Amino acid sequence: MAVRERRRVLVRRYSLFERVVHWAVAITFVYLMLSGLALFWPPFFWFAHVLGGPALVRIVHPYVGIAFIVALLVMLGIWAKDMVLDRLDIEWLKAVPRYATGQEEGVPESGRFNAGQKLLFYTQIVAGILLLLSGIVLWFPMQFTAGLRQASFIIHDLMAIIAIGALIVHIYMGLFYIRGSLQGMVEGVVSRAWARAHHGRWYRQVEGTSAVITEEAHD
Ligand code: HEM
């Protein structure tokens, strides 16, 4: 039987380090979300039992918060240069209605990240920092005034709602709207077609470099 040879072209999107940092942020955030909901919203109190009991959750939540912020700041360090909004990003934002309805015409090509991803990233960074600052006040309440404690409660809840909302959009985009994204964050590579279709400017930058890998597949 004749052996058919196919060539599969993949593009390296995330290094191992970037993926480890991303999943550290994701896992710590999901723990914080579940334990936070358990502690502060009675309908979700049963989550506390799933996570090892209310007393344990109360102790562990702030420490995981510290791990989250450390991972988030490392993420900021490695991706800051790719997250700068440029002129074409502004054009992209103006074309959001067309992007959201699946019309490609008139939507400028994106760099490594599109403007929507960049804005979501800044939202998570700002929310993360405010969650940390307000969380420190709630962690050591006796060290702060009653006014600051009350303000911190409101800020912590508000930022948690914003961060969870941003995560829901992020997961929907990454898993369901833009198919093939998850492979990038799990295996580190995406198909060439994906790279061209969703991040055309980025693809042209890496084209011709070792980021583009050609695999021979036989069947
Ligand atoms: C918990 C489940 C999560 C899933 C399933 C998930 C999935 C993904 C996927 C598939 C990508 C690749 C997108 C691409 O290459 O275009 C990605 C990228 C990224 N993720 Fe997540 N992620 C999660 C949590 C988080 C959290 C909690 C944060 C931050 C607080 C975060 C921040 C980012 C950022 C900044 C990027 C790069 C830009 C972007 O794609 O938005 N992720 N994620």
- The phi and psi torsions of 22 (rounded to 5 degrees) equal -60, -45
CA separation for the pair 199, 193 (Å, rounded): 10
CA-nearest residue, atom 10 of ligand 1: 182
Q: Which residues, in sequence order, are CB contacts of 56 under 8 Å at separation 6+?
A: none
C-beta pairs of 118-125 under 8 Å, 24+ apart in sequence? 118/83, 118/84, 118/85, 118/89, 120/166, 120/169, 120/170, 121/79, 121/83, 122/83, 123/162, 123/163, 123/166, 124/72, 124/163, 124/166, 124/167, 125/72, 125/76
Residue 169 lies in a domain: yes
- The phi and psi torsions of 41 (rounded to 5 degrees) equal -140, 105
CA-nearest residue, atom 15 of ligand 1: 181
Residue 24 lies in a domain: no
CA-nearest residue, atom 30 of ligand 1: 124
Q: Which residues, in sequence order, are CB contacts of 76 under 8 Å at separation 6+?
A: 125
**% pLDDT > 70, the chain:** 96
Cβ contact 216:9 at 8 Å: no
Calculate the CA dihedral of residues 12, 74, 115, 157 and round it to 10 degrees.
140
Site to probe by mutation for ligand 1, drawn from 33, 170, 173 as the one with most ligand atoms within 8 Å of Cβ, is 170
CA-nearest residue, atom 2 of ligand 1: 26
CA separation for the pair 53, 45 (Å, rounded): 10
| Mean pLDDT, the chain, whole residue set | 94
- Whole-model pTM? 0.93
Instruction: Give the residues across from 146 on adjacent strands.
Output: none
Residue 143 lies in a domain: yes
pLDDT (0 to 100) of residue 218: 64
CATH of the domain at 198: 1.20.950.20
Above 70 in pLDDT, residue 1?
Answer: no
Q: Which atom of ligand 1 is nearest to the CA of 116?
A: 41
Measured in Å, residue 90 CA sits from the centre of ligand 1 at: 22
Boundaries of domain holding 165: 5-14+76-218
Calculate the CA dihedral of residues 155, 90, 87, 77 and round it to 10 degrees.
30
Query: What average pLDDT does the segment 139-155 reach?
Result: 98
Q: Which atom of ligand 1 is nearest to the CA of 198?
A: 16
Query: What average pLDDT does the segment 178-194 reach?
Result: 96
CA separation for the pair 27, 8 (Å, rounded): 32
**Buried b vs exposed e over 168-182: b needs ≥16 C-beta within 10 Å?**
eebeeebeeebeebe
Task: Indicate the number of domains in the chain.
Answer: 1
CA separation for the pair 173, 167 (Å, rounded): 10
pLDDT digits (tens, 9 = 90+) for 188-215: 999 999 999 999 999 999 999 999 999 8
Annotated catalytic residues are: 170
Residue 124 lies in a domain: yes
Pocket of ligand 1 (CB under 6 A): 13, 22, 25-26, 29-30, 113, 117, 120-121, 124, 167, 170-171, 174-175, 181-182, 184-185
Q: Which residue has the higher pLDDT, 6 or 26?
A: 26
**Buried b vs exposed e over 136-150: b needs ≥16 C-beta within 10 Å?**
ebbeeeeeeeeeeee
Measured in Å, residue 182 CA sits from the centre of ligand 1 at: 9
pLDDT digits (tens, 9 = 90+) for 15-74: 999 999 999 999 999 999 999 999 988 999 999 999 999 999 999 999 999 999 999 999
